[in-house]
Amino acid sequence: GASDYLTKPVKKDDLVRVIERVVREASLRREVSRLRKEVHKEYSFHQIL
């Protein structure tokens, strides 16, 4: 996206920063997905009854 836009010539530090952010965001997305499944399993209508 626009937040990942790098101008040429690409500076190594800028590239590393973007890659680290992308990896961190992917990790957070996986964690959110896992937590949503856990909450759904724990508090589903089936479990309340």
Across 1-49, the runs of DSSP E, i.e. the strands, are none
Domain locations along the chain: 2-48
Indicate whether 3 pLDDT > 80: no
Indicate whether 1 pLDDT > 70: no
Question: When comparing pLDDT for 37 and 3, which is higher?
Answer: 37
Q: Of 25, 22, 23, 19, give the one whose Cα is nearest residue 10.
A: 19
* pLDDT given at position 42: 84
- 14-42 pLDDT, tens digit each: 999 999 999 999 999 999 999 999 999 88
Q: What is the 3-state secondary structure (H, E, C) of 22-36?
A: HHHHHHHHHHHHHHH
Q: pTM of this prediction?
A: 0.72
Mean pLDDT across 2-22:
91
25-to-18, 19, 20, 35, 41 alpha-carbon distances in Å: 11, 10, 9, 15, 24
